[in-house]
Amino acid sequence: MRFGTLHGRFVLVRDGHALDLHTASGGTLPWEPIAALERWDDVTAFAAAADWTPAVPVADTDLDAPVPMPRQVFAIALNYRPHAAEAGFVPPSAPLVFTKFPTCIAGPSAEVRLPEGRVDWEIEVVAVIGRGGYRIDGADAWAAVAGVTCGQDLSERAMQLSGTPPQFSLGKSHPGFGPTGPVAVTPDELPDRDDIAFASWLDGQPLQHGRTSDMIFPIPDLVARLSAVCPLLPGDLIFTGTPAGVGNRMQPPRFLQPGETLVSRVDGVGEIHQRFVH
Ligand code: ZN
């Protein structure tokens, strides 16, 4: 099952068509995205038998973020060994966690205004929490996840890396710095939920590529470790980390410029496109 939001309303998406959950369920299920995710079992039961007659044509560029205003956004630093190495760190022994404040979350094709500084890319697979919970066992963790989507953890490096010790969250939270989408896909619909391939391009040039099977802390482990401290709520997002190939570690370093377009793809999910402006 593929789901997202259209004009702020929860929709199921199939073959270029969107089905409004609230309308198609005769008003029995919510239109608000987090309220819908709070009824996850009912939503999946409805989707299994839904009548698609009232669906409307939709393009990826019409869709908003799968969860436009999540309550909690977790992000994981250094979750791939080659990226930890390029950043000059040994792989962490526990997940290194920061937040992207929720106002940075944007849809799959938002224009992003570049703030002053040095803005870098980080393609990431993003887990969307459905059922959620507190102290979730790793063996049950996939059941807490409604879907996965494609995201960019856009990062302004001057702010991120200034100060001793540095702080991650603010420099990664400018408006538009958390584009996600175009839809979220339930784990059962992926060819292999533990081995998801993804890649990105800047103006057609390859930037980063990876597979989630290379994560130091895989998605179920992240769900277990995060929920050991914070109850995970429906609609929460987990940005699961980026592989090697960030601009900050290129020789010479390379940052996003106005007029450039960043394309990011998660196999089985789709693509997001960000155009950068002054
Ligand atoms: Zn990141």
User: Ligand 1 centre and the CA of 208: distance in Å?
Assistant: 13
Please return the burial class of 248, using the count of CB atoms within 10 Å of its CB with bins 0-12, 13-18 and 19+: middle
Give residue 252 CA to ligand 1 midpoint distance, Å. 21
Mean pLDDT across 197-215: 98
What is the Å distance from ligand 1's center to 153 Cα?
5
DSSP 8: T
Who contacts 240 (Cβ-Cβ below 8 Å, separation ≥6)?
76, 79, 124, 125, 126, 127, 212, 215, 219, 222
CA of 134 to the centre of ligand 1 (A): 24
Q: How far is the CA of 249 from the centre of ligand 1 (A)?
A: 14
Other beta carbons within 10 angstroms of residue 34's beta carbon come to 17
Q: What is the model's pLDDT at position 84?
A: 87
This prediction's pTM: 0.98
pLDDT in tens, 80-103: 999 888 888 898 999 999 999 999
Rounded distance from Cα 216 to ligand 1 centre (Å)? 14
Rounded to the nearest 10°, the torsion over CA 230, 134, 126, 181 is: -100
Cα of 204 from ligand 1 centre, angstroms: 22
Supply the pLDDT for residue 52.
97
Superfamily designation of domain 73-277: Fumarylacetoacetase-like, C-terminal domain (3.90.850.10)
List the domain boundaries for the chain: 2-58, 73-277
Containing 33, the helix (H) or strand (E) segment is: helix 33-38
**By the 8 A CB rule, do 152 and 124 touch?**
yes
Phi-psi region of 226 (alpha: psi -120 to 50; beta: other; left: phi over 0): alpha
Closest CA to 63 of 6, 2, 12: 6
Strand 178-185 and strand 105-106: the pairing is parallel
Distance 239 CA to ligand 1 centre (A): 7
How many angstroms separate the alpha carbon of residue 75 from the centre of ligand 1?
6
At 121 the pLDDT is 98
Residue 118 tokens read as 């040095």
Q: Please check the confidence at residue 226 and state whether its pLDDT lies above 90.
A: yes
Spacing, Cα 77 to ligand 1 middle (Å) = 5
Helix, strand, coil content of the chain in percent (nearest 5): 25, 35, 45
| Cα 86 to ligand 1 centroid, rounded to whole Å | 14
Report CA(219)–ligand 1 centroid distance (Å). Answer: 14
The CA distance from 169 to 189, in Å, is 32
